[in-house]
Structure 1
Amino acid sequence: MEAVKSLSIGRRGAGAACAALAGMLAATSGAQAQDATGKSFVDNFDSLSGSRWFVSDGWNNGKHQNCTWSKSQVKVSGGMLNLSFEKKPYKERQYSCGEVQTRERFSYGVYEARVKTDTGSGLNAAFFTYIGPVDKQPHDEIDFEVLTKDPSKVQVNTYVGGKPYNEKLVDVPGGADKGFHDYAFVWEKERLRWYVDGQLVHEATGATPLPSNAQKIFFSLWGSDTLGEWMGPFTDPGRVVTMSVDRLAFTALGEPCQFEESVACKLQ
């Protein structure tokens, strides 16, 4: 486990380490991603499909994470996926938190999630893609991370071969906690673009390496006692903190857009 953690623990690398370890545990439990890349889909979360999603449960990702992934913190109701964080002892941690990941890997295309976050210092609400050594691939990653100490912004970045690139904090109009916002990235071989509510907020081209390996899609909400410089000092929120996902879509490059508001419609 320490080998996986050492890949990415740093100012913002804990999210990647979480993904790496989650992937390792998923693989050992029979949930390893398929070799073939996934096809276009829209998930409105009328239910949580076991054929699409693996729910992390029963482990933590090391000393930087102060909660244990728990299936009890992952619920679907009213067409919404809800991940939660709360003071609820589980295994060796005093807090429980939620994470899901796709069983399939996905390649170039448009990734879109409609998400509302909560607030709380020391917490991270993330929508991202990841693949790594546990899948016998280099560590590639593409991120949206709301550090809920300041929900007015979201951090975007990439990892390529285990190294961080393209980090930027961008504004979330009105705040990530005040309503649902659309987070999207368009991943092409030689270009990567991030969008918030349909507006281009960041772009990476050949000036830096770009991810090239098909990846799994993750949603996670977790906390840390040790990454205060990045995530803010952790304080017990005294309540259940929630991250809600209204929709997730993946549209392969060149395929028709799947709903009216999709960024993929702008590319056609």
Structure 2
Amino acid sequence: MTTSKKNYVQGLGLAAIALVSACFLPQAASAEDAQQSGASFVDNFERIDTGRWYISDGWNNGPHQNCTWSRKQVTIKDGMLQLQFVQSKTGERNYACGEIQTTKRYGYGTYEARYRTATGPGLNSAFFTYIGPTDKKPHDEIDFEVLGKNAGQVQVNQYISAKGGNEKLAPVSGGADQGFNDYAFIWEKDRLRYYVNGKLVQDVTDPSKIPSNAQKIFFSLWGTDTLSGWMGKFAYSGEPATMQIKRVAFTAPGEKCLFPESITCKIN
């Protein structure tokens, strides 16, 4: 990580805690400026498609993060994508963690993922989209984040030109870390809807609170020693923590649903 990149991430502060390593993706993968560049897809993670996904490796996002992104913590096992958080001296941190992000940007449409979150206070299991200044765009973001201090709920939020403050907590019946659940958002120019297991949990209709820039899709698992008020006091269990992802999909506006369980099959 260069000094300029490091200072950029650290300078964002708490307003961009969910900002991850899109800042460090090679420029060739972030040169497109259209509102939407990626086409509809479903990925069941039979393998990691390197044409679609970039694995974060070799840096951290600033002092709030107590682990270093490591490609060793991103694997396919039992027909699922697995992101791990483990105790392992890596770079500047004593822990290693996993993150994956798309190489292309995606715009208005339906985003869906089926996954099981990690267990443990001080950990964040996240499914979100992001774009920012390194891509010559404002910081826009749409989030699902399960904080290990309470896996019985998921926090939804969005950033528009680096302005957040749109957090809402939604219940996840049975606990997000105890089984697989479906998380989805439908992003339109004038409306943003969040769903958990097919139930609408947040409906945003104020255009000033809806991002407008195409973004990359992320899954990440990371921890903190400093944000205990938000994520809980970190305590390593002694065993690796794992986030398991069975499926992710993007459906462009106007297209038919791509798999039977898709939210687009139910509301269109």
RMSD value, Cα: 1.4
Note the alpha carbon deviations across 1:86-142, whole angstroms, 9 max, x for none.
101111211000000000000000000001012101110000000000100000000
| Percent of matched pairs sharing the same residue | 56
Residue in 2 that maps onto 1:27 = 26
Give the total of aligned pairs. 261
Q: 1:33 to 1:74 in 2, by over 3 A?
A: farther
- Give the TM-score of the pair, scaled to structure 2: 0.94
CA distance in 1, matches of 2:47, 2:264: 25
Note the alpha carbon deviations across 1:30-80, whole angstroms, 9 max, x for none.
543644510100000000000000000011111111100000000012320
Which runs of 5 or more residues in structure 2 are unaligned?
1-5
Note the alpha carbon deviations across 1:199-244, whole angstroms, 9 max, x for none.
1011111264210000000000000011111011111221100000
Residue in 1 that maps onto 2:128 = 128
Cα pair 1:81 1:246 within 8 Å, conserved: yes
**Is 1:4 aligned to 2:3, yes or no?**
no
CA distance in 2, matches of 1:167, 1:60: 24
Residue in 2 that maps onto 1:14 = 17
Which runs of 5 or more residues in structure 1 are unaligned?
none
SS in 2 for 1:86: strand
Cα pair 1:110 1:185 within 8 Å, conserved: yes
Matches within 5 A, 1:193-232: 193-206=193-206, 208-232=208-232
SS in 2 for 1:88: strand
CA distance in 1, matches of 2:46, 2:197: 23
CA distance in 1, matches of 2:109, 2:26: 25
Amino acid at match of 1:136: K
Cα pair 2:16 2:162 within 8 Å, conserved: no
CA distance in 2, matches of 1:105, 1:207: 21
Residue in 2 that maps onto 1:40 = 40
Matches within 5 A, 1:60-139: 60-139=60-139
Q: 1:165 to 1:210 in 2, by over 3 A?
A: farther
Cα pair 1:34 1:103 within 8 Å, conserved: no
Matches within 5 A, 1:238-257: 238-257=238-257
Amino acid at match of 2:7: E
Residue in 1 that maps onto 2:3 = none
CA distance in 2, matches of 1:81, 1:70: 15
SS in 2 for 1:166: coil
